[in-house]
Structure 1
Amino acid sequence: MCGIFCSFVKGSAVCDSINKCRSSLQKRGPDIGSTCQIKVNDYTALFSGNILWIQGERPTNQPYVDDKGNILLWNGDAYSWNVTVNASIKDSDTKIISDFLCYEGNMELLMTSVQGPYSIIYYDYEQQVLWVGRDPIGRVSLLWYLGADKLIVTSVGHKDIPDLKEVPAVGLFKFNLSEGQLKPQLFQWSHTRFDCDYNIINELQYFKQIRTHHITNPEDSILNENNQFNMATLLLHQEFSTNITNLIDHLLQSVEKRTTIIPKACKLCEFKCDHAKIAILFSGGIDSAILALLASKYIESDEPIDLLNVSFERQSNPNNFDCPDRQTCLSTLEELKILCPTRQWNLIKIDVPYTELQQKRFDTIRHLIYPLNTILDDSLGCSLWFASRGLGICDGKWYKTPARVLLSGMGADELLGGYTRYRKILQRHGWQSLNEEFDKDFSKIPSRNLGRDNRVCCDNGRQLRTPYLDENVVEFVRGLSPWQRCWPKEPYPINFGEKLLLRLAAFKLGLVNTASLPKRALQFGSRIAIKKENANDISDRL
């Protein structure tokens, strides 16, 4: 993952805000980096890029300036293209994108064709136009400050840079710098719901029109019968079997891309090595267990897979790291060992003392979480930062994962109905209201979760990849009715009805015990959260 920064300031002075977040930008992209400065009419512009090498034969420096003077800052993974591009296996995404825009020049066409997470900043020299945007799911962080005479766009901020906000993941923003004002126009993704003051120029279609493949009425479902079915029985029933197979196939393709498109060397080595290249944020729950099992199908057999499990010490209970997620991950690991007996699984027990949590939160993590500021942001941000650092005890010895890529189960709960509040919504208001809640949660995930999580995890110089949020997985699942994804109603308990489709997929893959584990939020499973606190309150610790 890269750290990208751009500023336009009216006058001759260079924006000094980069000095406040330079360290964080460099930690996101520790392999190579540079800056360039230009004048555009009355503005002084600064572009800065720091690169984590993930694709191509070698790192490509950024900002990338082409023969026409166009400037590209790209932070993402392009797994495939729906347009013809001049791509070589030796080329990085950066060069492929720059060449296309230089010679084809159609930003809207390119960005609606890229399959993969990204944020982009692109200056068109001839047109004097600046483009800014995030992918349609919002998987990669991008923040901005919009002022009358100053524009800042950055992967990560700092609490001393006031008024930063998440760039809405609702489309591509275009600034016509020749007009003398920093006012964006919006080319909006057609699937988004966004009330805004931006001048909407056009709609861009990214996802196919959602076609819902479902039985006409949820009351016709087999689950409405008096019998309480078990998973083995449901696997055989036509109502579920096709969707289970399709979900597994989409997840397999998603995981394959995210585990094979990587350098052959780990972070510690220059050439091909047999160290871990992939680490998994591993609570032991169903989401991470499925990712671990599927990843093992594609990662070379002689390479270990690192499983990162975090636990926090409580001030009231010193030296106790036996949290719920630690117990769960140990039992799930035993199931993985049975299913993949030749795979080396490195379980890294990341135990965080209370004093270290306080120090790292103040020195580093609060700046990464910013501009978010709630107690929930604090709990999740800290959990993910320590987990992604990957420093802990493995087989009785200190160990730090050398993996360049982190896999995370983010998005599974929003897509497949994992939250316990869904049960109450269904009980009180019915299936239509539950479907509307799914849509709301999916539309909010870029601003509520994904930007923060990307900033926090990538601070440790690793690429965060989210297989459940692959475009094809999202399109398939959102094409299902809510009752085909989950069944959060009696007589089925929480460890069955919530995320039912995913549980059935896990059961079919052989994760029989894990398939019935109850949903447990990371902040409670790692024991960082204080239950008496309201998650939505502003945190005084940030």
Structure 2
Amino acid sequence: MASAFAFELGAHRILTKMCGIALIISGIRFDLSSLLLDTTPPVTNSDQLEFTIADLAAALRRRGPDSLGTKKLLLHSSGSEIMSGVEEEFNNCFSAANGRTPCMHFFGATLQLRGVNPVVHPLIDSSKNVLVYNGEIFGGIEIASKENDGEVLMGLLGGCEGCVPNVVSRIKGPWAIIYWQESSRTLWFGRDAFGRRSLLVHWPTVEDSRFLLSSVSPVASNEHSSAENGTTKLGFWEELPCGIYSVSIDAPNGDGSLVGEVKKHEWTNAMLEELIKWERTSVEPKPKELHISRCETVRGQHDMNSLTSDIVPMPSKSGNIQASISVPAEAVLIALRESVLRRSSLHRIFQASMHVEKNLVPVAVLFSGGLDSMIIAALLHDCLDPSYEIDLLNVSFDGQSAPDRISAKAGVSELRRIAPLRKWKLVEINADSSNLTFETKRVLSLINPANTYMDLNIGIALWLAAGGDGWVYEENSKYNDENRQGVRYKSKARIVLVGSGADEQCAGYGRHRTKYRSGSWLRLHEEMKLDMQRIWKRNLGRDDRCIADTGKEARFPFLDEDVIRTLLGIPLWEVTNLDQPSGIGDKKILREVAELLGLHEAATLPKRAIQFGTRIARESNRKNFGSNRAANQASAGSVVIHKQLDTA
């Protein structure tokens, strides 16, 4: 089987993945004019921020890395000097103004996923180039079976002068990067075009002249309190907009102090540029095209057979496959299957032996039992070696009554029907919203700079689900039996597959239906485009930070470059049909994909957001607004958290 071969091939590959990267630059004046930033806020002595290098290191350590590497780069007018040392020693280097040497501090928190030899970041080559890289290379750059992503990237970057944008533009997959190029005295940094890996930035200000990059914000940088009423004042960090940036370090005439000029660079990959623009060639159908789309049955099967030979549509209970599946749905299925394969076949947990560990669960799925997570789970089964179990992580804030718990139980039953030989573990994670003091304080730090109650609710649900600490029941246990016996279980999977991006690309939100009704196909397309172009800021950075904090790596199959390209190449009316009711027309093409996989019950499930499906929104509304009704009147989901929450 092709997928099993790919998995075993990947087992020989040396891989360390970062669960966090960071950089602090001190003693350099920054020229930010090209970015048009406001860098001169008023200074008030009562509003100073106490934030140290140790705080940043602690934020990365709490993610549970196997190692945390640090390097210090001292910057001189004629060159640089790399030093290794403990973090306390780094605090001795701050600014040129007080006579200390300008310097850069690099941090790399390493999560060991596969291979027999650990690779510790930051990486340094013989030319004094320094790299910390938090990402996956799923394509675009060739990686041999025994090579490490970061080391290959380091070699490519070290062999070019000024071609960093060309190299990173080729990468297919999520990434965030910080790279010092010694020969040009240039710092390069950035994140992928869709923002699938978090990277926060603090641009220098008169309050704090340091330049900082980090995968996560330290707690200390969130406890910036106003003298007036003790409320939390956010704004120190912001999400770095997707792209490639550089800081050229130079010593001008005059006082001899170092100056860094910041620039943003264009992507050099034409295909990537097209995906970023997110333009669809076929948006508004002609009446004839719409009629054909709604009435035509399966067509062109002989052209697809060779491509779908490894994807066997599961029959329904009556033994027949529904006859309304389109060729575009088959194309999406192929792209999604390849996406899941890339994200599940090369991830072996660090171990010297090559045999399959008993009860090893390498990959988990954030699982609501809804359409998106059911598709991911079914495809993961198809791609993952049959010897491995699969954890399905489900969180509830209302015991067995939450909608997501109910659909998860039904979903795992359907998965067991189509894949009876696979060991599926539904991990039931039960949370009490009235007893989340520690979780709330921690997640408030993780979602920063996001700051609404909706962000907090989603963040807590994701953090608890990814943690995987719950209960597992025997397959033959009756779900309606409150006396059923379970065992305590904590998922050890270090890879978590997440369904982000499905609703944005396939019109799964209620506002998509509203736009369609008010402005037809063109307004719908513009709203979906807006969603995709802001997903880095509204969703992905926050979600990546919350999941990574549990020692897991989030991977997003629906946001694979080839999946995005496939969906954009399909006429919009084939992707969705919002004239039909919820659960039928919305995300039409994914419902057809589910049918091809034999997931007939899942194919009809309506969209339900995690904060509502888990019922954390209801419980949060009662706690913070007194009732659901009061929360709805206040539009609680978008309300900014101004008051200091009770996290004592």
- Coarse TM-score class (shorter-chain normalised): 0.7 to 0.9
The superposition leaves residues 348-375 of structure 1 with CA deviations (integer Å, 9 ceiling, x where unpaired) of 000012344232112x111111111011
Which 10-residue stretch deviates more, 331-340 or 36-45? Answer: 36-45
Matched, 1:157 2:213: no
Report the secondary structure of 2:615's partner residue.
coil
Which aligned pairs between 1:359-398 and structure 2 lie closer than 5 A?
A: 359-362=438-441, 364-395=442-473, 396-398=486-488
Structure 1 residue 208 displacement after superposition: 9.1
Report the secondary structure of 2:429's partner residue.
strand
Matched, 1:217 2:285: yes
Question: For the residues of structure 2 that align with 1:453 and 1:404, how far apart are their CA atoms?
Answer: 16
1:223–1:280 Cα change, 3 Å = farther
Question: For the residues of structure 1 that align with 2:594 and 2:150, how far apart are their CA atoms?
Answer: 37
1:344–1:223 Cα change, 3 Å = farther
Q: Specify which of 138, 148, 155 is matched with residue 79 of structure 1.
A: 138
Q: Specify which of 534, 540, 546 is matched with residue 444 of structure 1.
A: 534
- The answer to whether the 8 Å contact 1:311/1:321 transfers is yes
Question: For the residues of structure 2 that align with 1:147 and 1:456, how far apart are their CA atoms?
Answer: 26
Matched, 1:242 2:298: no
Question: For the residues of structure 1 that align with 2:612 and 2:545, how far apart are their CA atoms?
Answer: 21
Q: TM-score, normalised by structure 1?
A: 0.88
User: Residue type matched to 1:8 in 2?
Assistant: I
Structure 1 residue 221 displacement after superposition: 3.9
Question: For the residues of structure 2 that align with 1:443 and 1:130, how far apart are their CA atoms?
Answer: 26
- The answer to whether the 8 Å contact 2:283/2:525 transfers is no
The superposition leaves residues 93-144 of structure 1 with CA deviations (integer Å, 9 ceiling, x where unpaired) of 1111111111234211111111110000001112111111001111000001
Report the secondary structure of 1:496's partner residue.
coil
1:497–1:223 Cα change, 3 Å = farther
Aligned residue pair count: 513
Matched, 1:326 2:405: yes
Structure 1 residue 225 displacement after superposition: 9.6
The equivalent residue for 2:201 is: 144
The equivalent residue for 1:535 is: 637
Question: For the residues of structure 1 that align with 2:644 and 2:391, how far apart are their CA atoms?
Answer: 31
Structure 1 residue 430 displacement after superposition: 1.3
Q: TM-score, normalised by structure 2?
A: 0.74
Question: For the residues of structure 2 that align with 1:535 and 1:424, how far apart are their CA atoms?
Answer: 18
Structure 1 residue 219 displacement after superposition: 2.9
Which aligned pairs between 1:123-272 and structure 2 lie closer than 5 A?
A: 123-147=180-204, 149-161=209-221, 163-169=236-242, 171-178=243-250, 180-189=258-267, 205=273, 207=275, 212=280, 214=282, 217-222=285-290, 236=323, 241-264=326-349, 272=356
Question: For the residues of structure 1 that align with 2:123 and 2:203, how far apart are their CA atoms?
Answer: 24
Report the secondary structure of 1:133's partner residue.
strand
Question: For the residues of structure 2 that align with 1:64 and 1:458, how far apart are their CA atoms?
Answer: 21
Q: Specify which of 13, 24, 33 is matched with residue 59 of structure 2.
A: 24
- The answer to whether the 8 Å contact 2:166/2:268 transfers is no
The equivalent residue for 1:46 is: 105
User: Residue type matched to 1:456 in 2?
Assistant: C
User: Residue type matched to 1:458 in 2?
Assistant: A
1:423–1:144 Cα change, 3 Å = same
Report the secondary structure of 1:119's partner residue.
strand
Question: For the residues of structure 2 that align with 1:206 and 1:109, how far apart are their CA atoms?
Answer: 16
The equivalent residue for 1:497 is: 585
Report the secondary structure of 1:157's partner residue.
coil
The equivalent residue for 1:276 is: 361
Report the secondary structure of 1:382's partner residue.
helix
The equivalent residue for 2:549 is: 459
Report the secondary structure of 2:438's partner residue.
helix
1:113–1:225 Cα change, 3 Å = closer
Which aligned pairs between 1:337-376 and structure 2 lie closer than 5 A?
A: 337-362=416-441, 364-376=442-454
The superposition leaves residues 360-409 of structure 1 with CA deviations (integer Å, 9 ceiling, x where unpaired) of 112x1111111110111011000000000000001101000010100010
Matched, 1:60 2:60: no
**Structure 1 vs Structure 2 CA RMSD:** 3.0
- The answer to whether the 8 Å contact 2:112/2:349 transfers is no
Question: For the residues of structure 1 that align with 2:466 and 2:277, how far apart are their CA atoms?
Answer: 36
The equivalent residue for 2:155 is: 99
Matched, 1:515 2:599: no
1:496–1:350 Cα change, 3 Å = same
User: Residue type matched to 1:114 in 2?
Assistant: I
User: Residue type matched to 1:285 in 2?
Assistant: G
Question: For the residues of structure 2 that align with 1:468 and 1:252, how far apart are their CA atoms?
Answer: 10
User: Residue type matched to 1:383 in 2?
Assistant: A
User: Residue type matched to 1:23 in 2?
Assistant: A
User: Residue type matched to 1:407 in 2?
Assistant: L
Identity level (%)? 30
The superposition leaves residues 302-352 of structure 1 with CA deviations (integer Å, 9 ceiling, x where unpaired) of 211000000115xxxxxx442110000111111110100100000000001
1:297–1:129 Cα change, 3 Å = same
Question: For the residues of structure 2 that align with 1:528 and 1:207, how far apart are their CA atoms?
Answer: 34
Structure 1 runs not aligned, ≥5 long: 193-202, 314-319
- The answer to whether the 8 Å contact 1:265/1:271 transfers is no
1:91–1:32 Cα change, 3 Å = farther
User: Residue type matched to 2:357 in 1?
Assistant: C
Question: For the residues of structure 2 that align with 1:311 and 1:252, how far apart are their CA atoms?
Answer: 29
Question: For the residues of structure 1 that align with 2:419 and 2:128, how far apart are their CA atoms?
Answer: 52
